[in-house]
Chains A and B, each alone.
Chain A
Amino acid sequence: MTSAGKRRRASTGIEGLDKMLDGGLIPGRTYILMGDHGSGKSTLCGHFLMEGIKRGEEVLYVTIDAPPSDISTSFIGYGWDAGKITILNAHPRVRDYKARGSLIEVAAQRSVSTISEMSDKEKGNNQALVSPDLSLPSLQLMLQKEFESKAYDRLVIDSILSLRMLGAEEVQWEIGINSIFRLLAEEGLTTIIVSDIPKQYDNIRPEFILSRGIIRMNRLVVAGKTYRAISAQKMRGSGHDDQVRPVKITSHGITVEASKVLPPEVVTQLAMSFPKP
C-alpha cells in the first residue's frame, strides 16, 4: 500500500484485527461493527477502549442494549481494569440500574429526555419526572453534553439496534444518523457503532453509507461445531484483508487469527450471505 503504512492508525487492541486493517482504524472516523449475537462484538469494543486507556486516551462507552453492569462483569472477567472506561448509560430503563463496581456512571446525573423537555431543562425545569425517551436526537444531545465536559478520543455506541427498532419513521432515522455522524466527525472521535446484520433484501441503511468502514462478525454452527469469524467489508482510505478470519475467545478477550483461514465448509456457509451473482 502506497501511503497506508505511513498514516497514523488507531490500534483496535487486537493484533490480528490491526493486521487485517493495514494497521488499525483511521483516527477520527466512525466505523460500523455489525455482527450476530454472541459473535464477540462487545468484547471487540472492549479491546478497542482498553487500548485507548493503555495509550492514555479518554474513552467513552455508550451502552444502550445492555445494562452497564453486564458489560462491566464481562470486562472484569477478562481481567481488564475496566474502571477507567466512562460509561454513558442510555439503556431504556436507565433508572433501574445503579452504578456498580468501579465503573463511572455518567448517566446518574444525566438521564435521557425528549427534545422538547431538553429545552425545558435549559429553562431550569426539573426533569427528574420525565420518562426516558430513547431516540437518535436524544442520544445526540446526551453526547453533545458529554463532549462539552470532556474531550474524548475513542467512543463506542453499543448498539443502535434498539434505537432503530424503537425509532420513529425511516426519514427521521436517516436525518438523525446523518446528524450524529456529523457530530462525531466534527469532534474527531474514533468511533465504533455496533449494529445487527441486516436481513436479506433489506434496503441499504444510512449508517452503512456514512460509515468510513464496516467490520462484520459472524457466529455460526457447522456440523455441530461453533465458529466465529471476522471480515472487513469496506475500509475507505485503507487497504484491507479480503479473507474471512477465525475469531477465538480466550480468558483475556478475543483473538483474531489473521494468517489462518476457516474450514472450507464454514466459508461455504458464510458465502450464502454473499452469493456469487
Chain B
Amino acid sequence: MTVSLGRAIPTGNQLEDVMSQIIPRIATGTPGLDKMIKGGLLPGSIYTIAGPPGSGKTILAVQFLIEGVKRGENVLLVALDEHPCEMHENLLPMFGEDFDRILVLDGMLEMKSYEKTPLRDVSITRHAEAFGKVFPEIPRSSDMINPELTVSAIQEMIKVIVRNESISRVVIDSVTSLKMFMMTANERISFLQSFLRFLSDLSVTSMVTIQESDFPTVGATDIEYIMSRGVIRLYRWLQNDGFVIGISIDKFRGSDHDENINRIKITPIGLQVLDKTRRADRGR
C-alpha cells in the first residue's frame, strides 16, 4: 500500500535505518564486537547470547556490565547458574575491582527439602549487593527462611532494584535456568514471554544468556529469540589444532551487521573477537 502525502515518510526498515543513525549506541565491552554490529547495541532492548557450555557466554555478558561500570553506570547481574560467591572467585582475577561494583542478585534455588513447607515471601530474605560485598561462601539452605523462589519474586526484586539503584544495564545469566528451575513445562512459553516483556518495559539495555547443547537447533523459533532485538551466537568446534570458539550475529534488528562467524579468544583479561585480517595472515 502506498500513501502519497507529497513527501517521503520513512516506513518499516527505512525507519529503523534512520533511527539507528540517530540513536546513540551502547558499547558491548567486548573488543571487536561493536564493530560486528556497526557501533554497538541499541538502548532499551533485550539481546540474547546463546551458545554451548564453555563458549564464553557469561564472560561476554559480564564484559557488557563492566563496560557500564567503567562509564559510571549502575549495573545488575541476576545469577541463576552459578552462585555469586563462585562467580566472584572466578571472575575477579579477570576484571579486577570494576567487577566488585556490579550489583548481583542471587537467584539460585536452594536445596529441596522434599517436605511441605509453608510458603512465605522470599523477597524479604534476598536483595542485591555489590560483588565486593558477597559473602565468600554459599549460604546454607536451612539458614534461609524459605527455599521457595519464584519467577514473580525475582521479577519483583529486579523491578525494585532497577528503580532504586537507577540501573541502566541488566544481565540474566541464564534465562535457561530461570525457565528450567522455576517454570513448569506447560507455563514456560507464557511465563518467559511475560518475563521478557517485563524486562523490555524496564527500559534498560539487557543481555540474557541461553544455554545450548553442542548441537543447537539453529534458527530456533523459541520465544527468547523472537522477543529479543538481537541474537549473538557463540560456537565451539573441534579442528585439527584443538577446540576453538567463534561468534556470529544471528539477528540484529534496526541495524546492519557482520554476517560472518568470527573467531574469539578467552584470555586471562577477558574475551575478544579476533581480527579477521590478522587471522587470515596467520592461516597462510
Where the two chains meet, the residues of A that have a C-beta atom closer than 8 Å to any C-beta of B are 1-4, 29, 115, 118-119, 137, 140-141, 169-171, 174-176, 178-179, 182-183, 185-186, 198, 200-204, 206, 208-212, 214, 231-239, 241-244, 264, 267-268, 270-271, 273-277
Residue B110 at the A interface, CB < 8 A?
A: yes
Interface residues of B in 145-193 (CB under 8 A from A): 174, 176-177, 180-181, 184-185
Residue B284 at the A interface, CB < 8 A?
A: no
A208 with B53: CB separation less than 8 A: yes
Q: Which of B9-17, B85-93, B126-134 lines the interface with chain A? A: B85-93
Assuming the contacts A204-B211, A239-B268, A274-B243, asked whether A178 and B82 have C-beta atoms less than 8 A apart, the reply is no
Given A3-B93, A186-B111, 20 more pairs with CB closer than 8 A: A1-B268, A140-B114, A169-B185, A178-B112, A179-B109, A198-B214, A203-B213, A204-B53, A208-B211, A209-B53, A209-B81, A210-B81, A214-B54, A232-B54, A235-B54, A243-B241, A271-B239, A273-B238, A274-B238, A277-B246
Q: Across the interface, which residues of B come within 8 angstroms of A208, CB to CB?
A: 53, 211, 213
Q: Across the interface, which residues of B come within 8 angstroms of A268, CB to CB?
A: 240
B91's nearest neighbour on chain A, judged by CB, is: A237
A178 with B243: CB separation less than 8 A: no
A209 with B268: CB separation less than 8 A: no
Residue B278 at the A interface, CB < 8 A?
A: no
Interface residues of B in 52-93 (CB under 8 A from A): 52-54, 81-83, 86, 89-93
Assuming the contacts A2-B94, A170-B185, A236-B86, asked whether A204 and B246 have C-beta atoms less than 8 A apart, the reply is no
- B93: contacting residue among A2, A175, A200, CB under 8 A: A2
B213 with A212: CB separation less than 8 A: no
Interface residues of B in 228-284 (CB under 8 A from A): 235-244, 246, 248, 261, 268-269
Q: List 22 A-B contacts (CB under 8 A).
A: A2-B93, A119-B115, A141-B114, A174-B181, A175-B112, A175-B181, A183-B111, A185-B83, A186-B111, A198-B213, A200-B215, A204-B176, A206-B180, A214-B54, A233-B54, A238-B90, A244-B242, A270-B238, A271-B237, A271-B238, A274-B214, A277-B237
Residue B141 at the A interface, CB < 8 A?
A: yes
Q: Across the interface, which residues of B come within 8 angstroms of A211, CB to CB?
A: 53
Assuming the contacts A182-B141, A231-B243, asked whether A236 and B82 have C-beta atoms less than 8 A apart, the reply is yes
- CA separation between A198 and B114, bound complex, in Å? 28
B85's nearest neighbour on chain A, judged by CB, is: A185
Residue B119 at the A interface, CB < 8 A?
A: no
A205's nearest neighbour on chain B, judged by CB, is: B213
Residue B140 at the A interface, CB < 8 A?
A: yes
- B238: contacting residue among A3, A182, A239, A244, CB under 8 A: A244
A171 with B185: CB separation less than 8 A: yes
Q: Across the interface, which residues of B come within 8 angstroms of A185, CB to CB?
A: 83, 138
Q: Across the interface, which residues of B come within 8 angstroms of A209, CB to CB?
A: 53, 81, 174, 176-177, 180, 211
A275 with B237: CB separation less than 8 A: yes
B176 with A243: CB separation less than 8 A: no
Assuming the contacts A171-B184, A209-B177, A214-B54, asked whether A237 and B111 have C-beta atoms less than 8 A apart, the reply is no
Most buried by A among B138, B177, B185, B243: B243
B111 with A182: CB separation less than 8 A: yes
Residue B26 at the A interface, CB < 8 A?
A: no
B53 with A233: CB separation less than 8 A: yes
B143's nearest neighbour on chain A, judged by CB, is: A186
Residue B202 at the A interface, CB < 8 A?
A: no
B181 with A236: CB separation less than 8 A: no
- CA separation between A239 and B265, bound complex, in Å? 12
A201 with B268: CB separation less than 8 A: no
Assuming the contacts A231-B243, A274-B214, asked whether A267 and B176 have C-beta atoms less than 8 A apart, the reply is no
B86 with A29: CB separation less than 8 A: yes
Q: How far is the CB of A18 from chain B (nearest CB, A)?
A: 19
- CA separation between A202 and B212, bound complex, in Å? 10
Q: Across the interface, which residues of A come within 8 angstroms of B53, CB to CB?
A: 204, 208-209, 211, 214, 233-234
- CA separation between A201 and B211, bound complex, in Å? 13
Q: Which 6 pairs between the two chains have the least Cβ-Cβ distance?
A: A237-B90, A234-B54, A3-B93, A179-B112, A274-B238, A271-B238
Q: How far is the CB of A62 from chain B (nearest CB, A)?
A: 17
A179's nearest neighbour on chain B, judged by CB, is: B112
Q: How far is the CB of B278 from chain A (nearest CB, A)?
A: 19
Residue B204 at the A interface, CB < 8 A?
A: no
Q: How far is the CB of A113 from chain B (nearest CB, A)?
A: 12
